[in-house]
Amino acid sequence: MNRGSDNRQVQARTRWPRWVGYPITVLVEAVLTAGLLALDPHFPLGRYPIPYVVALMAVAYWLGGGPAILAFVLGLLAFDYFFIPPLHAILPRPEGVQGWAQFTAFFLGTAVVGFAMVLIRRSQRRNQRLAQELRESNEHVTGILESITDAFFALDREWRFTFANAEAERLLQKTRDELMGEVIWDLFPEAVGSTFYNEYHRAMAEQVTAEFEEYYPPFAAWFAVRAYPSASGLSVYFRDVSERKRAQDRQELTTRILWRLNQQAEFPDTVREILKLVKEFAGVEAAAIRLRECDDFPFFVADGFAEEFLRDERYLLARDERGRVLCDKEGCPMLECVCGGVAVGRTDPARPFFTQGGSFWTNSASELAATTPEEVLGRIRGRCIKEGYQFIALVPLQMDQTILGILQLADKRTGWFTLDQIEYLEEIGASIGIALARKQAEEELRQSRQTLERHLSLLQQALVPPQLPTNSGYGAAAVYLPAFLGEQIGGDFYDLFKTERGQIGIVVGDVAGKGIEAAALAAAARSTIRSFAHELVCPGNVMSHANAVLQSQESESGIFVTVFLVIIDPLTGSMSYARAGHPPAAIWRPDGEVKFLEAGSLPICVAAGQEYETLVDCLDPGDKVVLYTDGITEARRGTELFGLEGVRSALITHGHGNPDEVARGLLAAAREWAEGRLQDDVAVLVVERSASESA
């Protein structure tokens, strides 16, 4: 620290202007000299330099280096003038040895003392400044640690707490005074041997960062922890992630339940497995599912309830002494207990034990029964209370406001659940209800399948128009041959139509697979493409829009559709087209050339957002465009396919015929190649521009 900074600190400490120190110094020296002169006849203290040394020390300490130098000079002059012989002379006589000795002693003594005092003061002020900076730094760090959202505490190498912020106090459930200086394992003995214990010791021993998530049972909470070792100990940042973990657990449960519901398993096994998953998630002692059976809701599956309880409480219908079912004023069968009320939707959301979703729950069943009138809860059997169950939850399993069953949970502990958990179980109940409805629908579907099969031929006919429309200057013909007559409906389809702009639309497609689902998708694809072709000009846009619609409906089925779409301007013969994974269309020209339109993209229903390119060609007078399904190209003779070369050869042979002859000739060539055993449905559509039309 230099003299200027020292003076600035003196000025800052005293809040005086710098120049004030100098007149004060003069005043001090004048008062001191006057006092010494007054005492001199009786007490000759002025003959000794000690008073001036003390004054110099005081000035140096309080007023800084500049006033100290002034005090030194004034003191030297005063001492020499008034107290060193000869008196009233600035300097001693040359021959006065004693005078020079006193002068020299005063000069050296006060100079050394004054300089030392200045150095001491500077050192002291430097230490004060460093201490202040350290305090400010500590306060800054402490402020940061207090302001962060994470909890933080520090341990020394003896595992004693040296710091904890407010969030750490909250999560650790102890005040800072209770933590400071205490060993962490003494305050939290349940953590000994846990992941917390092992990871903290590993971090300290190996001097590596430890990062982990762990559940701490005494707090019933999950914590995400990052521990950073240092030479002085361990710094630990942590936060409560119980909500996230709870959400993950819920998501996992939902995923597992939905996966189970979509498995092809026996219905009782599916419901039993779902109940097991819910019981493990809830952590309750007993759980059961009741399903509607006519007017009653008997137990369907149960886990944890005593056999006697299940036998006595199996049914909910109220009966008289003779076993006859009791009915209400409207003649509807009455269901007993709170279970019956939930089953028929007799709940009041205004009551704290009922929810908006129609559930009932309580963490203290005995207290609720003792304080709630019967007209609110209904006729209570009280069997759950007799069994000692305090936590009870009844969650409806419903679909579209129709209650199909009840999820019943029970536990002898109190304070076990919250409303948020009940509402989550209601979401699960809705999924189970949907699954129950689906299972019922599957049974109805099985019963009606035979009737539906009788109409398969009608649906197949809907995929192929019985008569192709005609257009001036153009001719068209089509053939369709299913591979397995009378057994399974196929997915091949074709269409020929006029757009609102007078253009000719040609479509041939093939759905992967067979059966009702494939036929339904084929019908949807045919109608969707036709609809968009009436609105959009470019085949690529038509295919993109059709893919967006159909893919959203069939994304989980795994079925896809190959399509070839052609739009022709009948006046010019200009032809635009788009290909979605379908065998390439062929253009036959009168000179015998066969051109395949091979450019294209993925099939429909394979990738969401798939864009399709519009390509162009021209159909000159006499040209024919031939569209077909893969039943043609995949016709087999041993291991060899009919392929595009087979199509080319057949068109060269039959291309000069009319559209019907060309279509039938191509089909006949493929059947001949396969020795009459085609393995897939076949559709062929041929459109010819009349040779009499001018381009």
Average pLDDT over residues 32-53: 71
Quickly state the pLDDT bin for 122 (edges 50, 70, 90).
confident
pTM above 0.75, yes or no: no
Query: For 358-377, what is each residue's pLDDT tens digit?
Result: 999 999 888 888 887 766 66
pLDDT in the model for residue 9: 47
pLDDT in the model for residue 1: 42
User: Which runs of E-coded beta strand occur in 412-528?
Assistant: 474-481, 492-498, 504-511
What 3-state class would DSSP assign to 333?
strand
pLDDT in the model for residue 441: 73
CA-wise closest residue to 620 among 642, 592, 665, 587: 587
Comparing 281 with 588, the larger pLDDT belongs to 588
Phi, psi (5° rounding) for residue 156? -85, -175
Which residues in 494-516 are b (16+ Cβ under 10 Å) and which e?
bbbbebeeebbbbbbbbbbbbeb
User: Which tokens sit at 549?
Assistant: 């619609």
pLDDT in the model for residue 694: 47
Could you tell me what percent of the chain has a pLDDT over 90? 36
Average pLDDT over residues 547-569: 85
pLDDT in the model for residue 251: 86
Residues forming a β-bridge with 563: 509, 581
Quickly state the pLDDT bin for 270 (edges 50, 70, 90).
confident
pLDDT in the model for residue 578: 95
Average pLDDT over residues 401-424: 87
Query: What stretch of H or E contains 495?
Result: strand 492-498
Of the listed ranges 353-357, 481-485, 492-496, 527-531, the one predicted with least confidence:
481-485
Query: For 598-616, what is each residue's pLDDT tens digit?
Result: 988 999 988 888 999 999 9
Residue 350 reports pLDDT greater than 90: no
Residue 355 reports pLDDT greater than 80: yes
Alpha carbon 613 to its chain's center: 36
CA-wise closest residue to 631 among 512, 475, 506: 512
Are 43 and 35 contacting, i.e. CB atoms less than 8 angstroms apart?
A: no
Quickly state the pLDDT bin for 540 (edges 50, 70, 90).
very high
pLDDT in the model for residue 257: 84
Residue 564 reports pLDDT greater than 60: yes
Q: Class of 457-689 per CATH?
A: alpha beta
Residues forming a β-bridge with 221: 216
Tokens 């020209």 locate to 589
User: Which tokens sit at 678?
Assistant: 């085609």
Quickly state the pLDDT bin for 87 (edges 50, 70, 90).
low
pLDDT in the model for residue 375: 65
Quickly state the pLDDT bin for 508 (edges 50, 70, 90).
very high
Comparing 1 with 179, the larger pLDDT belongs to 179
pLDDT in the model for residue 246: 85
Query: How far, in Å, CA of 397 to CA of 402, rounded?
Result: 8
Quickly state the pLDDT bin for 626 (edges 50, 70, 90).
very high
| Average model confidence (pLDDT) across the chain | 83
Comparing 35 with 83, the larger pLDDT belongs to 35
Could you tell me what percent of the chain has a pLDDT over 70? 82
Tokens 């710094």 locate to 235
Residue 278 reports pLDDT greater than 80: yes
Query: For 291-319, what is each residue's pLDDT tens digit?
Result: 988 888 999 999 999 999 999 889 888 88
Comparing 333 with 52, the larger pLDDT belongs to 333
CATH topology of 148-240 equal to that of 246-446?
A: yes
pLDDT in the model for residue 172: 93
Fold of 246-446: Beta-Lactamase (3.30.450)
pLDDT in the model for residue 6: 47
Query: For 487-501, what is each residue's pLDDT tens digit?
Result: 456 678 899 999 888
Query: For 377-403, what is each residue's pLDDT tens digit?
Result: 666 777 888 888 999 999 999 887 888
User: Which tokens sit at 321?
Assistant: 């002494």
Query: For 193-222, what is each residue's pLDDT tens digit?
Result: 999 999 999 999 999 999 999 988 888 789
Q: Concatenate the DSSP letters of all residues of 530-556 into one string.
A: HHHHHH-S-HHHHHHHHHHHHHHHHTT
Are 526 and 463 contacting, i.e. CB atoms less than 8 angstroms apart?
A: yes
How are the residues of the chain apportioned to helix, strand and coil, as percentages rounded to the nearest 5?
A: 45, 20, 30
Dihedral over Cα of 246, 249, 253, 258: its sign: positive
Residue 64 reports pLDDT greater than 80: no
What 3-state class would DSSP assign to 33?
helix
Domain residue limits, the chain: 3-139, 148-240, 246-446, 457-689
pLDDT in the model for residue 585: 96
Euclidean distance between the first and the last CA atom of the chain, given in angstroms as a whole number: 101
Amino acid identity, position 12: A
Of the listed ranges 264-273, 301-310, 405-414, 676-685, the one predicted with least confidence:
264-273
Query: How far, in Å, CA of 529 to CA of 548, rounded?
Result: 11
User: Which tokens sit at 2?
Assistant: 């230099």
pLDDT in the model for residue 538: 93
Average pLDDT over residues 185-195: 93
The architecture CATH gives domain 148-240: 2-Layer Sandwich (3.30)
Dihedral over Cα of 268, 269, 274, 277: its sign: positive
Query: How far, in Å, CA of 695 to CA of 691, rounded?
Result: 10
pLDDT in the model for residue 2: 47
pLDDT in the model for residue 679: 83
Residues forming a β-bridge with 303: 287
Query: How far, in Å, CA of 670 to CA of 677, rounded?
Result: 10
By CB atoms closer than 10 A (0-12, 13-18, 19+), residue 586 is buried
Tokens 């990052």 locate to 226
pLDDT in the model for residue 365: 86
